[in-house]
């Protein structure tokens, strides 16, 4: 039997160690990465290119659902959720992954999952079920509600990897041609979140919505003033941003 290369991610040390131990008991399973959070898990997947990834739901930086949203394409690993969620959430997760393992983890249940993952990997199917249904399930609003924790770094697409930007390095996030882009150090990066999601997830007080299509980092504003009755922000990188009439009062209030 060919080896099954696995990355696992859980922010709870005991759960992480126990899952690694149980997986390692299978002779054909090789744990090639153990992550403490979602961002670290993405980096490990990009580097190790495992056959499967076992994801906890609640983790720092990115939740397991958010990590799964970034794992797209034909070479994406098989996803297994490890969760303590109730039965209704588990039923939804089944649409978005090959399997789930309910905490506390039972050895016999995990053995079944390993068998399923092994069969799927041997068939060369990195995703189970209909790909469109998987994307729909991952993008479904009830699943997105699983994590409202603030983003401390912004995940963006960089070549074939996910790059985590420090928020202080992101002066503006904006939409263009139905895409959401983040500017950092003179470059533009694709973001998988909508502006509405970012408005809810970015740290309160650090970013302000200046108009329908842009969020500006308050720390990046060098000056502001009125031009022909329009509030104009000038950022430290030289960017000029006009605030909409609807947003201007709130922006002024936050700038004082």
> Which mean pLDDT values do the consecutive 10-residue runs of the chain (256 residues) have?
90 94 96 95 94 90 86 85 64 60 87 90 57 43 48 79 87 88 91 86 89 95 95 95 94 90
Judge residue 78's burial from the number of C-beta atoms within 10 Å of its C-beta, 0-12 exposed, 13-18 middle, 19 or more buried.
Answer: buried
Range of the domain at 236: 156-255
Q: What is the pLDDT of residues 182-233, one digit of tens each?
A: 999 989 988 878 888 898 888 878 999 999 999 999 999 999 999 999 999 9
* 55, 77: one domain: yes
* 140, 222: one domain: no
Cβ-proximal residues to 215 (8 Å cutoff; 6+ apart), any chain: 172, 173, 174, 195, 198, 199, 202, 207, 208, 209
* 15, 138: one domain: yes
Report if residue 94 sits inside a domain: yes
* 245, 120: one domain: no
- The β-bridge relationship of strands 230-235 and 240-242 is antiparallel
- CB-CB contact of 185 with 146 (8 Å): no
Q: What is the pLDDT of residues 159-191, one digit of tens each?
A: 656 788 999 999 999 998 778 899 999 899 888
Percent of the chain surpassing pLDDT 70: 84
State which H helix or E strand residue 110 sits in: helix 107-122
């Amino acid at each position: 039997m060919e080896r099954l290369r696995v990355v696992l991610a859980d922010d709870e040390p005991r759960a992480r160690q126990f899952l690694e131990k149980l997986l390692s008991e299978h002779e054909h399973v090789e744990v090639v990465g153990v992550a403490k959070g979602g961002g670290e898990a993405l980096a490990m997947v990009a580097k190790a290119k495992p056959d499967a990834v076992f994801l906890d739901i609640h983790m720092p930086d990115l939740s397991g659902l958010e990590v799964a949203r970034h794992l797209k394409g034909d070479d994406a690993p098989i996803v297994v959720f490890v969760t303590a969620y109730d039965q209704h959430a588990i039923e939804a997760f089944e649409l978005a992954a090959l399997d789930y393992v309910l905490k506390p983890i039972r050895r016999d249940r995990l053995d079944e999952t390993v068998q399923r993952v092994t069969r799927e990997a041997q068939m060369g199917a990195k995703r189970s079920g209909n790909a469109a249904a998987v994307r729909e399930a991952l993008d479904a609003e009830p699943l997105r509600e699983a994590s409202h924790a603030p983003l401390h770094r912004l995940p963006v697409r960089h070549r074939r990897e996910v790059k985590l930007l420090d928020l202080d390095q992101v002066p503006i996030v904006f939409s263009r041609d139905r895409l959401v882009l983040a500017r950092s150090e003179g470059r533009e990066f694709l973001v998988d979140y909508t502006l509405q999601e970012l408005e809810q997830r970015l740290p309160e007080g650090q970013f302000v919505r200046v108009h329908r299509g842009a969020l500006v980092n308050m720390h990046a504003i060098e000056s502001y003033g009125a031009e022909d009755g329009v509030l104009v922000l000038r950022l430290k990188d030289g960017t000029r941003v006009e605030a909409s009439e609807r947003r201007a009062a709130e922006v002024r209030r936050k700038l004082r």
